[in-house]
Amino acid sequence: MNKIGIIGAMQVEINHLHTIMKDCKEIKIGNLVFYEGKIGKTNIVLVKSGVGKVNAAMVTTILIITFKVTHLINTGVAGGMSKDLSIFDIVVSTDVIHHDMNAVGFGYKICEVPGLDTISFPADKKMIELAKEAYKEGSFDKKIKEGRVASGDVFVSTAEAKAKIVDICNPVCCEMEGAAVAQVAYLNKVPFIIIRAISDMAENTDEVYEEEKAAKYSGFLVEHLLKKLGN
């Protein structure tokens, strides 16, 4: 039976899913709280990781080793990197990359993680297809886009920083956790997907960051996807 691990960095990114959980119990491990229960008929474990790749890697490892999850979803908000995207549009990952990984001086390609012989981590194809089906059935008023998600331990808020990331790895959006989730999933052979809604366009510190509403769009799609992963 499937058990889905769901990770959001911030409280606002897990609020919707936490609200609709049934039979929910809290399990504390260190400074983390894991919520184990059901959404619909699907068994899930939901957790707020905290911001950044170390936090994301830590909770992903716990979900796999301690809770024995069969699938992983990283949900939340992201900065738009593609001209095709608008605020609140939803991104479904095709692959995920560390935009701030640079071991070129040791002979590796830009963004390549030393020792892994890969530049990016591919999301699970079946989960991608199910997410697209869930989107169609969910009557969303914003569009969905498949594409590369880039992650780094930096909040991108200038046009210059955005342009550099686009030049390096050409993602459709960027955030601060997905690549860590993806790398741990890849190493443990656990299927994963990153689902993010666009909260800003990652290029202007004067922008209004629509985190709460964007997080709901992402959460809604995850909710619909869980119905398809419950078998």
Residues of the domain holding 55: 3-228
Q: Helix 53-65 and helix 178-188: axis angle, to 10°?
A: 30
Domain count, the chain: 1
Q: How crowded is residue 83: how many other Cβ atoms within 10 Å of its Cβ?
A: 9
pLDDT score of 207: 61
Write down the catalytic residue from 146, 200, 206, 223: 200
Active-site residue, selected from the candidate residues 13, 36, 89, 112: 13
Q: Is the C-alpha dihedral spanning 114, 145, 162, 77 positive or negative?
A: negative
- Given a cut of 90, whether residue 60 has pLDDT beyond it is yes
Tokens of 81: 């990197």
Q: What is the pLDDT of residue 172?
A: 97
pTM: 0.95
Active-site residue flag, 160: no
Q: pLDDT band at residue 202, thresholds of 50, 70 and 90? A: confident
Q: Are 226 and 4 in contact (CB under 8 A)?
A: yes
What tokens appear for 48 in the block?
A: 């707020």
pLDDT at 1: 87
Q: How far is CA 135 from CA 103, 189, 195, in A?
A: 38, 26, 11
Q: What is the pLDDT of residues 148-178, one digit of tens each?
A: 999 999 999 888 999 999 999 999 999 999 9
Active site residue 200: yes
Q: Please check the confidence at residue 224 and state whether its pLDDT lies above 80.
A: yes
Q: The tokens of 174 are what? A: 């960027």
pLDDT band at 205 (very low <50, low <70, confident <90, very high): low
Cα 160 to the center of its chain, rounded Å: 24
27: CATH:
3.40.50.1580
